[in-house]
Structure 1
């Protein structure tokens, strides 16, 4: 896929993976629009990269999403919709009755899954009108093997993975020019994962591999350890599950 001259909308683009992606898209000659819920973070991102257009918006809010679409349309539209926004709630014990389970799961589903569908539905006709365009959905290594401590987050990413594959096939059947990419990051060093232990890839290295995959039209982009986990899980699912959920996870649940 050609990135030079394309306009990219990145949700959750004010920090972490989204902000690094904005930088690297700019470096590749793209125009970039980022969204986020925190105006302060958006302003800081704009100071770092003055070429970025920032729009305050929450993907889980239908009214915000419609306003975002209207603003983007007024700016001339986009060629690439990069659904990067995501949330992760605190670790939970599914085996203990707790109303927080449902609230956390609903929150993650609303942002990580339904928010993506909401924006895709709004922007799909705009993207179809372009000669070459794309939707990029961010799933996770955890869509292959679930985490005991991030169970509902894992589930939201599995839902998004299945939806992404189905959406891609639907558009292919319709002979659409819209390419649907799935990005599967491993554990990435961001504010969201600051309290987690384990090997982490930097945002710069993760996005570098991601951009390389886009340029090659690699529709499923597995970065870092996700490549290993994908293969290992197909051959040895029980071993992979245990590697993803070490004994200390059981101690957290039992405590």
Structure 2
């Protein structure tokens, strides 16, 4: 699809991967709408961007999802790309019965999975009005293999991955709506600091890969180390009946 002249909504766009994507797409001549929970952080991001506005709100909250979707419909009716990037992650020690593992998992599932399903449903009518539209779900290398540090985060992203595949199949016959999945590995952001993000790739690398994929209609977008796993797994899963 085209990589310029779009109107693009990015959740979690005030920092990290979301901000890097906003910078890349803004510089390419797109109108950007960034979303985040903290107005001060949103303003800091706006100071670094051109042709960008913000919508404050917490997409993990149903009322905020409805409010944001309505604002897009009423004030930004040309929006044609939704990037579901906002996420939650916790170190979750399943061996510790006092760890509140289920509460952490609930927040991850709600933010990383349930809210994406609901927000997508709320914005689909607007996207389907456009001549060319896309949904980009930001999953993770963790969809392919969990670990003891992020077991419930990995599960939430695996759920998002499965949903994204189903969403793509649902609209396979619609030539105007494309469904992308972006698979970052460990990325050096504040979000991943607790799990050694300093050793990760720069968020700009993720943004560059997504930009290139949009232009090539490459709906699966593995980045960095994820490419090695994706190359092994995809030939198998592509042959599974669906």
TM, length-normalised to structure 1 = 0.87
Please state whether the residue corresponding to 1:192 is helix, strand or coil.
coil
Please state whether the residue corresponding to 2:212 is helix, strand or coil.
helix
CA drift of 1:47 comes to 1.4
**Take 1:49 and 1:115, find their aligned partners in 2: how far apart are those partners?**
26
CA drift of 1:188 comes to 0.5
Superposed counterparts of 1:205-224, under 5 Å: 205-224=205-224
**Take 2:4 and 2:229, find their aligned partners in 1: how far apart are those partners?**
32
Aligned to 1:249: none
**Take 2:45 and 2:85, find their aligned partners in 1: how far apart are those partners?**
16
Please state whether the residue corresponding to 1:191 is helix, strand or coil.
coil
Aligned to 2:238: none
CA drift of 1:104 comes to 0.2
Aligned to 1:69: 69
Aligned to 1:100: 100
Aligned to 1:84: 85
Where do 4+ consecutive residues of structure 1 move more than 3 Å? Answer: 231-235
CA drift of 1:53 comes to 0.6
Q: What is the CA RMSD across the aligned residues, in angstroms?
A: 1.7
After superposition, give the CA deviation of every residue in 1:35-74 in whole Å (9 maximum; x if it has no partner): 0001110011111225211111111111111111111112
After superposition, give the CA deviation of every residue in 1:140-169 in whole Å (9 maximum; x if it has no partner): 000011121000000000000000000110
Please state whether the residue corresponding to 1:48 is helix, strand or coil.
coil
Please state whether the residue corresponding to 1:146 is helix, strand or coil.
coil
Contact between 2:25 and 2:32, CA under 8 Å: does it hold in 1?
A: yes
Superposed counterparts of 1:176-195, under 5 Å: 177-195=176-194
Structure 1 runs not aligned, ≥5 long: 236-255
Aligned to 2:132: 132
CA drift of 1:81 comes to 0.4
**Take 1:118 and 1:41, find their aligned partners in 2: how far apart are those partners?**
25
Please state whether the residue corresponding to 2:172 is helix, strand or coil.
helix
Please state whether the residue corresponding to 1:93 is helix, strand or coil.
coil
Please state whether the residue corresponding to 1:209 is helix, strand or coil.
helix
**Take 1:12 and 1:94, find their aligned partners in 2: how far apart are those partners?**
28
**Take 1:105 and 1:92, find their aligned partners in 2: how far apart are those partners?**
8
CA change 1:5–1:58 in 2 (3 A) is same
Q: Which structure has the bigger radius of gyration? A: 1
**Take 1:189 and 1:83, find their aligned partners in 2: how far apart are those partners?**
19
Superposed counterparts of 1:1-255, under 5 Å: 1-77=1-77, 78-89=79-90, 91-98=91-98, 100-173=100-173, 175=174, 177-197=176-196, 199-231=199-231
CA drift of 1:76 comes to 2.9
Normalized per residue, the structure richer in helix is: 1
Please state whether the residue corresponding to 1:104 is helix, strand or coil.
helix
